[in-house]
Structure 1
Amino acid sequence: MKLILLTFALLITEVLYCATPDMSDTIEKDFRNAFPKAEQVKWYKTDLMYEVVFINDQVSCRMRFLLNGTIDRTIRYYTEEHLPPFILSKIKRKFAGKKVYGVTEDTSEDGVTYYIVLEDEDHWLHIQSDAIGNTIITNQYKKNRNVK
């Protein structure tokens, strides 16, 4: 009798396990629905999260999902033309004479932060901006023109 109960319990456990959808399938399906034109899609999984790296509308993107399927963070890498006009105009005014070299946009529950690299002929300037254009300088480097 114990053997029959044990076998029945194992069978029920296996059926329930197989009937539970794999969260990675759900996340991938939701991703494909949200980004049908995504290119060069690559998925990664760790013990803590799923991550997808892809190109969307010529912008490099990275999305991180918790194992339960909740989006944790998105990171986008782009150039000046994708920066919101409000932010760009504030930066151009405050840092006149500097050109936007690249932007890293980091979005999480804490909000949106822009990490922007500016340059002129002699310097690299790393700044950080919030969603309303408040900026701080995080690093400044002198370009070495003697490197061959």
Structure 2
Amino acid sequence: MKNLILSTAFILAITGSAFAGSAEPANEYVLKTFNQIFKEAINVSWTNTGNHFEAYFVGDNNVKTRALLDAKGNLVQTIRYYKEEDLPSNVLYAIKREFRDKDIWGVTEVSNKNGVNYRIVLRDDKNYTHVNANSIGETEVVSKYKRGDK
């Protein structure tokens, strides 16, 4: 019985993700805004999440990006995934000053009506540390995990 439930859940998940990945923007407003803002986008894939359309693509400097637009073509949010070299200098300085013994492993930048925030993963020999930072360089440690790869 357990195998039947797991198999059914797996098939439904595969079927659902196949349909979600092939959605195209529903209207010209979404495409117009997207093409104006993200001229350099390559490998664009779209999903429709109800009243919003999400584009996942590779943008400038090979930065992986997600853009969420509403049906009127308004940009609601962007999420960018990158490494240390693309952080703004003031945020990079604050992180390097406060966490001298850690390397920046990855950055998730979230930009929306509330501003720009950075979720930064730091690592050292023993731990991963998750830090939130804002656009003026204020930081907050969110969590710390022991590395499982050591």
So what's the TM-score if we normalise by structure 2?
0.78
In 2: Cα distance, 1:144 partner to 1:55 partner? 29
Partner of 1:82: 86
In the TM superposition, residue 37 of structure 1 has moved relative to its aligned partner by: 1.8
User: How many residues were matched structurally?
Assistant: 125
- Structure with the larger RCO, 1 or 2 (CA within 8 Å, 6+ apart): 2
So what's the TM-score if we normalise by structure 1?
0.79
- 2:47 is the alignment partner of 1:26: no
- TM-superposition CA deviations, 1:2-24 (whole Å, max 9, x none): xxxxxxxxxxxxxxxxxxxx962
Letter in 2 for 1:37: E
Question: Is the CA contact (8 Å cut-off) linking 2:128 and 2:145 kept in structure 1?
Answer: yes
Unmatched 5+ residue regions in structure 2? 1-24
Question: Is the CA contact (8 Å cut-off) linking 1:125 and 1:141 kept in structure 2?
Answer: yes
Question: Is the CA contact (8 Å cut-off) linking 2:33 and 2:73 kept in structure 1?
Answer: no
In the TM superposition, residue 145 of structure 1 has moved relative to its aligned partner by: 5.1
Question: Is the CA contact (8 Å cut-off) linking 2:32 and 2:73 kept in structure 1?
Answer: no
Larger radius of gyration: 1
In 1: Cα distance, 2:135 partner to 2:111 partner? 10
Question: Is the CA contact (8 Å cut-off) linking 2:51 and 2:71 kept in structure 1?
Answer: yes
Quote the sequence identity (%): 36
Question: Is the CA contact (8 Å cut-off) linking 2:107 and 2:118 kept in structure 1?
Answer: yes
- TM-superposition CA deviations, 1:68-96 (whole Å, max 9, x none): 22111110000000000110011001000
Letter in 1 for 2:104: V
